Amino acid sequence: MTTSVLAIDDSRTIRTLLRQALEQVGFDVHVAEDGVEGVAKFNEVKPDVVITDINMPNLDGFGVISQLRGTPVHTAVPILVLTTESSAELKTRARDLGATGWIVKPFDDAALVSVLRRVTGHV
């Protein structure tokens, strides 16, 4: 079974790095440029896990988490925050909204893959 990932980040570089790191180990990667596109794509793709940045135009990562967790159907999909931010206050806010975990950029490919496999149960 292929693990499907939806990566939401306004940085083309980060989207490319995520796609390269994850596709080379067998993940099916879908990307979105901002939170609005990401929420819309979520319903189309039905990913096993979502990776979202916090600071994005149109709808930030907190808005993404809030919207995805706002319906009972989406409560089981893990949501990982991937951002340059690292304050405890922001991490708490994300967790309170329903984020599963927090990864600080720059990310380590192997560590990210390990976390994705662990949170999806697709070891």
Does residue 122 lie in a domain region? no
Residue 121 confidence class, pLDDT cut points 50, 70, 90: confident
Domain of 99, CATH number, reads 3.40.50.2300
- Model pLDDT, residue 86: 86
Q: What is the pLDDT of residues 4-63, one digit of tens each?
A: 999 999 999 999 999 999 999 999 999 999 999 999 999 899 999 999 999 999 999 999
Report pTM: 0.94
- Model pLDDT, residue 116: 95
- Model pLDDT, residue 1: 67
- Model pLDDT, residue 34: 97
Does residue 67 lie in a domain region? yes
Residue 16 CA to residue 97 CA, distance in Å, equals 27
Does residue 42 lie in a domain region? yes
Does residue 113 lie in a domain region? no
- Model pLDDT, residue 49: 96
Does residue 57 lie in a domain region? yes
First-to-last C-alpha distance (Å) of the chain: 10
The residue segments making up the domain with residue 9 are 4-108
Tally of structural domains, the chain: 1
Q: What is the pLDDT of residues 111-120, one digit of tens each?
A: 999 999 999 9
Instruction: Report whether pLDDT(123) > 70.
Output: no
Contacting residues for 31 by C-beta, under 8 A, at least 6 apart: 6, 7, 8, 9, 15, 18, 19
Q: What percent of the chain has pLDDT over 70?
A: 96
Two tokens at 39? 């929420």
Does residue 114 lie in a domain region? no
